[in-house]
């Protein structure tokens, strides 16, 4: 339902991003991930409008300051206009409301309304803990939560929540695959890359895919866009997966002051 490989757009904007998204679609990317907070939905929309291919799956996210029922609907209408889509494929709660100021149930009710009204096809969550995921599933049914988008990379394999998602049947979308570039300098990742005539970045993406996660790497360079896309063809063996499992050091890199109490 949701393509397992896509392009992330965090920290990208302007004509550069429009050109990159257009190049990605030409390469065969079928999934573009953006968010209201990225302030680049309109730039993504310009690229989408340049292509007649309507099969590109588009994900956006509702910012945590917009989680009140009507704010969700209003902000999603704005997102739809910026993205130049009749219906957005997927909308996520970008971050849970700090201190449960807006109950997750209220926001989920708004997302269901957006789905009923044709604003979005599917909804899900991002940066949700096990407790929040359980609350969400209890309210709307776990089968209606398409994904939980969370930080997952070789140095932060995030087993508690990825295991919980697997048990619930909720897909994991794994962000920050390259750990802000740290995978490039790791000896284990370098050795596996050399073994497969690949790059450490490709190994990190292939590792996410091998674990069944949805991978959405981002880049500012077209050649890296192509290299990331080609990582889908890299098949890691059990020795590779074991070696990567052993370099997990619980190194969370994204932890803003409004984060939930992590598992």
Write out the binding residues for substrate: 94
Measure CA of the first residue to CA of the last residue in the chain; give whole Å: 28
Binding-site residue positions: 94
Q: How many helices and strands, by DSSP H and E, does the chain display?
A: 10, 8
Residue 38 annotated among the catalytic residues of the structure: yes
3-state secondary structure of 37: helix
**How far, in Å, CA of 110 to CA of 70, rounded?**
7
Catalytic residue (one of 29, 38, 64, 175): 38
Going edge to edge, which strands form the sheet with 120-126?
A: 7-8, 31-33, 57-62, 88-93, 120-126, 145-151, 171-175, 214-215
User: In degrees rounded to 5, what are phi and psi of residue 207?
Assistant: -65, -45
> Are the beta carbons of 108 and 65 closer than 8 angstroms?
no
Sequence-distant (≥ 6) Cβ neighbours of residue 259 within 8 angstroms: 95, 127
Active-site positions read 38
């Amino acid at each position: 339902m949701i393509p397992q490989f896509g392009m992330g757009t965090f920290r990208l904007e302007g004509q550069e991003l429009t050109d990159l998204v257009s190049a990605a679609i030409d390469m065969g990317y079928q999934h573009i991930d953006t968010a209201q907070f990225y302030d680049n939905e309109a730039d993504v929309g310009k690229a989408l409008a340049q292509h007649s291919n309507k099969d590109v799956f588009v994900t956006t996210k509702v910012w945590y300051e917009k989680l009140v029922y009507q704010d969700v609907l209003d902000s999603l209408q704005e997102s739809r206009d910026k993205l130049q889509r009749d219906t957005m494929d997927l909308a996520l709660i970008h971050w849970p409301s700090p201190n449960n100021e807006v109950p997750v149930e209220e926001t989920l009710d708004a997302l269901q309304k957006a789905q009923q009204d044709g604003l979005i096809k599917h909804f899900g969550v991002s940066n949700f803990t096990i407790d929040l995921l359980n609350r969400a599933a209890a309210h709307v049914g776990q089968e209606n939560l398409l994904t939980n988008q969370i930080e997952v990379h070789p140095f932060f394999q995030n087993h508690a929540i990825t295991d919980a998602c697997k048990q619930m049947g909720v897909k994991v979308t794994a962000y920050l695959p390259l750990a802000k570039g740290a995978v490039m300098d790791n000896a284990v990742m370098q050795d596996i890359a050399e073994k497969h005539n690949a790059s450490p970045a490709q190994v990190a993406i292939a590792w996410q895919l091998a674990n069944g996660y949805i991978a959405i790497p981002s880049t500012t360079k077209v050649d890296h866009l192509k290299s990331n896309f080609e990582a889908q063809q890299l098949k890691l063996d059990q020795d590779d997966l074991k070696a990567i499992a052993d370099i997990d050091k619980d190194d969370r890199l994204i932890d803003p002051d409004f984060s939930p109490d992590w598992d």
